[in-house]
Amino acid sequence: MPPAAFQPMQDYALTVDRFLDHGAKWHGRKTVVTAGGAGEAVIGYAELRRRANRLSGALLGLGLRPGDRIATLAWNTQHHLEVWYGAMGVGLTCHTLNPRLTVAHLAAMITEVGDRVLAVGAGLSDLARDLAAACPSLERLILLDGDTDEDDGGLPVDALETLLVERGRTVTWGAFDERTLAGLCFTSGTTGAPKGVGYTHRSNYLHTLRALQADAMALTARDRVLVAVPMFHANAWGLPFAAPAVGAGLILPGRATDGAALARLIQQHQATVAVGVPTVWLGLLDHLDAVGGETPSLQRIIIGGSSCPDALLRRMESRLGVVVQTSWGMTELSPLGAISPPVADIGGPHGSGRPAMGLDLLLTDEEGAPLAEQRNRVGRLKVRGDSVTRRYFGAAADAVDAQGWFDTGDLASLDDAGNLTLAGRSKDLIKSGGEWINPVEIEDIVGALPAVGLVAVIGRVDGKWGERPLMVIEPAQGEALDDHALTASLKGRVADWWIPDRIVRVEAMPLAATGKIDKTQLRAIYGGA
């Protein structure tokens, strides 16, 4: 028997700085490209690592200490990526903020977290000044992306490049416990008040390994990844860690994610994988159809954030010649939950795929009891794993049950192969005459019509039935559908009493800040009697 003190393996802390260390050492010339109004910036991982490490020294020189929190209000750019690693590398917490939220919402988050420094992307100085005035915890602004606005709102201000020259110094990364908080992101608030989700270095590290599995994101050193998912949204789906971990190149679009900008980036930089919400790719398709052009380098598109109409999925596959990987996740999951594999589905239905090793799923009834049969039944979806939240930031109690399961609030089913299909949010179910209507089933059917761009079904107050379903349609570009064609698609496929009584057409579907269809706004506009 070995002695009690026997330690057979090295103590190798799972901290996220190791991803950029690896990228710099073994893939140092692989590039990060940033698009912007003043032209594109290109940098290799080796130089990016050097700058981010010197930024760590500068942040410590400003008086920040491990455990302190620095907020970022920025787009997908090189400077934003440098702040991520510069902060996390020395045990600071990077709190990403969504620039599309109101001053009041952002100020509440900053105050709750106690951010000391705010790093501000180009074009966001006005918003930063308002936040500086509203947030007593803020002590300093750092201007990113070449911004040199000196109107500081009463706080000391540094441009990042100046900060690197005047205070930058080389420091040691990772000299702290792997359970140290690395990042913070607030939920979107679509299911209640936004809640802070804290990501530890360990959870981010293990999430990265899960995302890189062969049946998940499966990135390699041969890939060039267009990151159209914002870095302020759900940990940027883990891509700022996953790409340097395998030496994949990164293409960062700044704030421009319109169809023309994305087409140019894919074509110019030979993107092989593109990642973002469905509405982003709808814009790309519409642009290519309007002006022509191809994207031959593109092999895969990974989508998530909201359900995608089947017609849009097929259009992406046929027009772009890509494999579309559908996925499901949440801010609370870091965020990857399930994903379809990176191979052609041979015409099969698109679900959300299966979870990779490190995450487990459970279906329960409304009272939380596990369903006796976990296949081909709809139940409440619960999850647990090494990158799933246990307790929200500042909360007094855990957000999991006694067995460690986190209730996602989603309804879902699993087929015989374990593929996940979301059946809607439990709160989105429509109760009409005492019976439940599932809007997702209606949306899936109508969304398969080629003339439908986006579709949402919500409950509308009804004096007789309590609620009745209302359908909101954004037609596909240049298409038109009459009400009869829409309702006829549902005949015989759902109960007659499920068919919406009213159909509303909109030029543009309202979207939440994360790119999801904003059903809260739709209910506010159309849900009254």
Question: Prior bond to 450 cis, omega within 30?
Answer: no
Q: Quick one: pLDDT at residue 479?
A: 86
Q: Quick one: pLDDT at residue 191?
A: 46
Q: Quick one: pLDDT at residue 216?
A: 97
Q: pLDDT (tens digit, 9 = 90+) per residue, 411-441?
A: 899 999 999 998 777 777 787 866 678 888 8
How far apart, in Å, do the first and last CA atoms of the chain sit?
75
Using CA atoms, how far residue 17 sits from 12, 52, 58, 268, 285, in Å, is: 12, 10, 17, 30, 37
Q: pLDDT (tens digit, 9 = 90+) per residue, 4-39?
A: 788 899 999 999 999 999 999 999 999 999 997 667
pLDDT band at 463, cuts 50/70/90?
confident
pLDDT at 2 over 70: no
3-state secondary structure of 240: helix
- What mean pLDDT value characterizes the chain? 91
pLDDT at 289 over 50: yes
pLDDT at 154 over 80: yes
Q: List the single range of 126-135, 141-150, 393-402 with lowest mean pLDDT.
A: 141-150
Q: pLDDT (tens digit, 9 = 90+) per residue, 90-99?
A: 999 999 999 9
Of the chain, the percentage scoring pLDDT greater than 90 comes to 73
Shortest CA distance to 43 belongs to which of 26, 27, 59, 19?
27
Alpha-carbon span 513 to 529, nearest angstrom? 27
H or E stretch including 289? Answer: helix 278-291
Q: List the single range of 169-183, 185-199, 273-287 with lowest mean pLDDT.
A: 185-199
pLDDT at 345 over 80: no
Q: Quick one: pLDDT at residue 347?
A: 43
Residues identified as active-site: 187, 332, 431, 436
Alpha-carbon span 70 to 34, nearest angstrom? 22
219 neighbors 130 (Cβ within 8 angstroms): no
Alpha-carbon span 497 to 437, nearest angstrom? 9
Q: Quick one: pLDDT at residue 148?
A: 76
Q: What domains sit in the chain, N to C, each tagged with a CATH number?
A: 17-202 (3.40.50.12780), 429-526 (3.30.300.30)
pLDDT band at 316, cuts 50/70/90?
very high
Q: Quick one: pLDDT at residue 209?
A: 98
More confident residue, 28 or 483: 28
Q: How many CB atoms lie within 10 A of CB 384?
A: 16
pLDDT at 355 over 70: yes
pLDDT at 348 over 70: no
Shortest CA distance to 489 belongs to which of 435, 517, 452, 437?
452
pLDDT band at 346, cuts 50/70/90?
very low
Alpha-carbon span 155 to 267, nearest angstrom? 42
Read off the DSSP letter of residue 360: E
Of the chain, the percentage scoring pLDDT greater than 70 comes to 95
Mean pLDDT over residues 467-486, rounded?
89
More confident residue, 305 or 236: 236
Q: pLDDT (tens digit, 9 = 90+) per residue, 183-241?
A: 999 987 544 578 999 999 999 999 999 999 999 999 999 999 999 999 998 889 999 99
Q: How many CB atoms lie within 10 A of CB 350?
A: 20
70 neighbors 159 (Cβ within 8 angstroms): no
Mean pLDDT over residues 59-63, rounded?
97
Mean pLDDT over residues 487-512, rounded?
89
Mean pLDDT over residues 72-84, rounded?
97
H or E stretch including 464? Answer: none
pLDDT band at 350, cuts 50/70/90?
low
